[in-house]
Amino acid sequence: MPQHKISPDSPIGIFDSGIGGLTVVKAVQAALPAERLIYFGDTARVPYGTKSQVTIRKYAREDTELLMKHQPKLIIVACNTVSALALDVVEQTAGGVPVIGVLRAGAELAAERTRSGRIGVIGTQATIGSNAYSCAIREENDALEVFPKACPLFVPLAEEGFIDHPATRLVAEEYLSAFAGKQIDTLVLGCTHYPILRKIIESIAGPEITIIDSAEAVASKAGELLAARNILNQRAEKALPHLMVSDLPQKFRELYRLFMGTELPDVELVGV
């Protein structure tokens, strides 16, 4: 049981290693516009994907503690790396507050959508190296075959705004050539940055391959969970997200625009 009182008006806490999780904020806002969202982006310590498991687990605990101060009714782990390597740490730290990770949400949707039973997954080195997507997908259905591929350059290319740049296409062609002859029919974007590059990935993958966006998957799962517990927020008005970051670099404003398509609102700077 949670240590604090939970009501429909309690916020949903969302965290990520940096700004990438804003694609999750955007998807949750679209699906559940009345919900109060509290987002923490650990911009001082981004990226998590290149760090060791010990470090990632330490950060996961600290990030969850920060959100718990706001007495959430649900915690969404927008970071695939944390979902892969430290979801148990988040659950322990969250007490009885329910936790959803993007990873399982994406895995479930991929397992539901595939027809051929052959699924590709792309993500950071740490997410792919952990094998967590393969495990999560095969927990859904152990007859499914999963083909993972790490794409470390996609995050910096997205953050540099090289959205439809020929260099991005060359890099994507090289990465996605790993799926040649594998006959996948479903491709999971296993990193919150990747929806930014969705068009170029989609155009190389071709129309036969269904793209699974874990951000959309987690938003839909959050709605189901809140409805089942009868704690959906029923207010009529839309809520603006409360944003917290651990560092506020020059590039943040620009990236916010790239991810959210709107100007940066007020942001709270917090220490970790």
Residues that bind its own copies (CB under 8 A): 43-46, 50-52, 54-55, 125-126, 129, 152-153, 155-157, 159-160, 162, 165-168, 170-171, 174, 247-251
Residue (27 or 191) nearer to its own copies, CB? 191
Nearest by Cα to 124 from 177, 205, 48, 58: 48
Six token digits for residue 155: 């995050």
Residue (44 or 239) nearer to its own copies, CB? 44
Whole-number Å distance between alpha carbons of 136 and 142: 10
Query: Is 192 labelled as part of a ligand binding site?
Result: yes
Query: Is 266 labelled as part of a ligand binding site?
Result: no
Amino acid code (one letter) for 248: L
Six token digits for residue 229: 């517990």
H-helix or E-strand containing 186?
Answer: strand 186-189
Query: Is 81 labelled as part of a ligand binding site?
Result: yes
In order, the DSSP letters of 193-244 are TGGGGHHHHHHHH-TTSEEEEHHHHHHHHHHHHHHHTT-----SS--PPEEE
The residues annotated with a catalytic role in the active site are 79, 191
Query: Is 48 labelled as part of a ligand binding site?
Result: yes
C-beta of residue 185 within 8 angstroms of C-beta of residue 208: yes
Instruction: Report, in Å, the least distance between residue 156 CB and its own copies.
Output: 4
Instruction: Report, in Å, the least distance between residue 34 CB and its own copies.
Output: 34
Six token digits for residue 192: 């919150």
Instruction: Report, in Å, the least distance between residue 25 CB and its own copies.
Output: 20
Phi, psi of 184 (to 5 degrees): -70, 150
Residue (96 or 156) nearer to its own copies, CB? 156
Nearest by Cα to 7 from 31, 30, 36, 40: 36
Name the burial class of residue 232, with classes exposed (0-12), middle (13-18) and buried (19+) by CB atoms within 10 angstroms of its CB. Answer: middle
Residue (8 or 249) nearer to its own copies, CB? 249
Residue (56 or 103) nearer to its own copies, CB? 56
Query: Is 242 labelled as part of a ligand binding site?
Result: no
Instruction: Report, in Å, the least distance between residue 185 CB and its own copies.
Output: 27
Query: Is 16 labelled as part of a ligand binding site?
Result: yes
Instruction: Report, in Å, the least distance between residue 18 CB and its own copies.
Output: 9
Annotated binding residues for substrate, as ranges? 16-17, 48-49, 80-81, 192-193
